[in-house]
A and B are shown apart, each in its own frame.
Chain A
Amino acid sequence: MNPIIQINNLNKSFGQVHALKSISLEVNESELFGIIGPDGAGKTTLFRTLATLYTPDSGNVSVLGYDVVRDYKKIRPLLGYMPGRFSLYQDLTVEENIRFFASVFGTTLEENYKLVEPVYRQIEPFKNRLAGDLSGGMKQKLALSCALIHKPRLLILDEPTTGVDAVSRVEFWDMLAILVKDVTIIVATPYMDEARRCNRVAFIQEGEILQVDTPEAIVKSFKKPLFGVSHKNRFKLIRALKNYPYSESVHTFGDSIHYTDQRDLPDLDGLKTYLHDMGLENVEIGTLIPGIEDSFMALVLKEANHA
């Protein structure tokens, strides 16, 4: 099977900032591929390069078998690109926007209605409303419809769920799950919890790809026992855990602190005694099943120790 996206040793800098450092990546046909990483990790730079808006400093990038520098004209009609910022015409209505984007790709709304239907149907009742008056979630659905209207072979979605409420986010991913039957999708997100909805994900941090795998495999790669520690004085608890001689990682997740130990068989009683001596009484410690986020944090830590 031919990869839809093939990236070899891609580098891109803006002045002193090395935004992408020797990135290599492959995305296969009909995959829902996630690029997960914090703000400023290089996701948007990577996506703009894929969308033929940036030219790489070095390395090869091919999209749908075409080189992004040489054959950008051939790639563009086959792409559906949704930038991170809402970039449709706010002073045009929902329908005018989608019809305009259909027309510049030489097609019509009617012709590809079937394809956009799962998304467009939800905003069709508001088709005469100005795009600028839509809510955040509806804007994203409109943008997705406009990106889909010309039947692209690859959808590039740059943080489509940023700034969208939790319910709309779930809906949005449900739609991607339907769409991926017809089109390959690469999507960037800063939200770890969205990673599990992808077929494969790549972790990106400071312009480097840390790991590429299925969400399940990533979780499984987290081998160490993970503990959730909680106490009402969280600040003191974090400091105490970080100063514990055997502590490996200490991260805040919601209400509890996720903790891993340097030893293969951690001594929980010893830890409790230590915390008691530090003035923290009635600390609750429980075993946890690691999530994607724990894996990401572990990878970041490993990378930091490496460097």
Chain B
Amino acid sequence: MQTIRFLLYKEFLQIFRNRVMLPILFIMPVVQLLVLSFAATYELKEVHFVLVDLDHSPSSRDLSAKFQASGYFALADATSNIEEAITMMDRGEIRMILTIPQNFHRDITIGRPAPVQLMIDAVDGVSAGLIQSYSGAIIRDFNSDRKGGIFLQTISQPNQQYQSINVIPVYWYNPDLNYINFMVPGILVVLVTMIGVFLSGMNIVREKEIGTIEQLNVTPIRKYQFITGKLIPFWIIGMVDLLIGLALARYGFNIPFLGSLWLILAVAGIYLVLVQSVGLLISTITSTQQQAMFIAWFMMVIFILMGGLFTPIESMPVWAQNLTLANPVAWFIKIMRMVLLKGAGWYEIKWMVLLLTGMAAFFIAASINRYNKTSS
């Protein structure tokens, strides 16, 4: 116990003396949350579109006005030449073409289904989907005023009829479909993961690299003391960073905190030990910080991309979904969102927490086992 205290004292001396890393450790949660939450947004604003109106009727003007009034679409140009509109899309100036055919007004007033065509630039599939669904909502709204109604013609879903059934969606847990509510809990997980995977492991590799480990190895310091001395300082820093991040989420972004803060902190404590032992394991198989950094980044990217932060796990292929079962990042993101946004309690997340605890136990055992004070 005494020895661990001396090791901790030494670590903190070194951490607080590191003038490059120390400020970054505490600015990191703020910058990450701000940048990622505001920049990586999925919301649509100002989609430029071209109107190809072949009908020139009150109804066609009405529909076009509805698009512009929605706040999501801005009319870039109006033309009757479809080729010209396509050229504009090819040049990337516009992202959608709305074509209203002849006889649109006539059909709609006598109650016959009338087609319109949407052409959407789908290079960015996610926002193309959003454009389609926003347009759908506008057309649905337009239909509700009229007897006949439009059907929207797309390639994937021809003759989609927005007519007979009036669908009023209600979004649970995130009623405004607020993107930030969805992103921030995930970003907090990435933050904690970075601190856990990188700092402890890297610190041990650094001792290897500068040779101090050779001096430590001939002291009576025991394996578990050494490893505990490396884990605790960055565990504390990780928790402090998480608290800063949570405070920012609560008071800066007004993220709802439906669940218990203590539950989040308890799970984060277990999760940190888990990712720290992953970092530790990396440190036992590498001998330079460069190697360790490279492996840690490689794993981080896979963990995060397959963690459901940006893309929902449910839309991955089955094999990838199975892989995410072993991805601690995915589990913690899920827990965070469940507790913060849905108000889940211990009962709902019990199995996931037990799984994380099991993984933590496995990795810490593996890394202690691999860390050797004598080299062959």
Contacts and interface: CB of A to CB of B under 8 A. Distances in A.
A87 B374 contact: no
Interface size class for chain A? 20 to 34
Interface string B177-219: 0000000000000000000000000000000001111111111
Contacts of B6: 100, 103-104
Interface in B11-68: 13-14, 17-18
A188 interface: no
Given A83-B214, A89-B14, A103-B6, A53 B374 contact: yes
B9 to A, nearest CB: 8
Interface in B333-376: 373-376
- Across the A-B interface, give the 9 residue pairs with the lowest CB-CB distance, nearest first: A87-B211, A103-B6, A87-B215, A81-B218, A85-B211, A83-B214, A104-B219, A87-B212, A77-B220
B16 to A, nearest CB: 10
B214 A87 contact: yes
Q: Which of the listed residues A54, A90, A103 has the most CB atoms from chain B within 10 Å of its own CB?
A: A103
B219 A76 contact: yes
A162 to B, nearest CB: 14
B3 interface: yes
Given A104-B3, A104-B6, A52 B212 contact: no
A76 B374 contact: no
Interface string B262-287: 00000000000000000000000000
B7 A91 contact: no
Nearest to B219: A104
B218 A87 contact: no
Given A76-B219, A92-B13, A83 B374 contact: no
A54 B373 CA distance: 10
B210 A90 contact: yes
Interface of B: 2-3, 6-7, 9-10, 13-14, 17-18, 210-221, 373-376
Interface in A56-99: 72-73, 76-77, 79, 81, 83, 85-92, 96
8 contacts: A54-B374, A55-B374, A76-B219, A88-B212, A90-B210, A96-B13, A103-B3, A104-B216
B215 A55 contact: no
A126 interface: no
Given A104-B7, A106-B2, A55 B220 contact: no
Contacts of B17: 91-92
A72 B13 contact: no
Contacts of A83: 211, 214-215
Nearest to B214: A83
A101 interface: yes
B169 to A, nearest CB: 58
Nearest to B226: A104
Given A72-B374, A87-B211, A53 B221 contact: no
Given A53-B374, A81-B215, A83-B214, A89 B10 contact: yes
A85 B209 CA distance: 11
Contacts of A91: 14, 17-18
A51 interface: yes
Interface of A: 51-55, 72-73, 76-77, 79, 81, 83, 85-92, 96, 100-101, 103-106, 146
B217 to A, nearest CB: 6
B211 A105 contact: no
Nearest to B7: A104
A89 B212 contact: yes
A76 B222 CA distance: 11
Contacts of A79: 218
Given A89-B10, A100-B6, A76 B220 contact: yes
Contacts of A76: 218-220
Nearest to B215: A87
A284 B327 CA distance: 80
Contacts of B221: 104
A214 to B, nearest CB: 29
A88 B212 CA distance: 5
Nearest to A150: B219
Nearest to B222: A73
A178 B90 CA distance: 86
Contact of A92 (B3, B14, B215, B216): B14
B219 A105 contact: yes
Nearest to B211: A87
Contact of B219 (A55, A89, A101): A101
Contacts of B216: 104
Contacts of A53: 214, 217-218, 373-375
A51 B376 CA distance: 13
Contact of A105 (B212, B220, B376): B220
Given A53-B374, A91-B14, A104-B6, 14 more contacts: A54-B374, A54-B376, A55-B376, A76-B219, A77-B219, A83-B215, A85-B211, A87-B214, A100-B10, A103-B3, A103-B6, A104-B7, A104-B220, A146-B215
A209 B155 CA distance: 85
Contact of B215 (A54, A88, A103): A88
B215 A73 contact: no
A80 B292 CA distance: 31
A53 B218 CA distance: 7
Nearest to A69: B374
A54 B214 contact: no
B235 to A, nearest CB: 21
Contacts of B220: 73, 76-77, 104-106
Contacts of B215: 81, 83, 87-88, 101, 146
Nearest to B10: A100
A92 B9 CA distance: 11
Contacts of B3: 103-104, 106
A165 to B, nearest CB: 22
Contacts of A51: 218
Nearest to B212: A87
Contacts of B211: 83, 85-87
A96 B211 CA distance: 18
A186 to B, nearest CB: 14
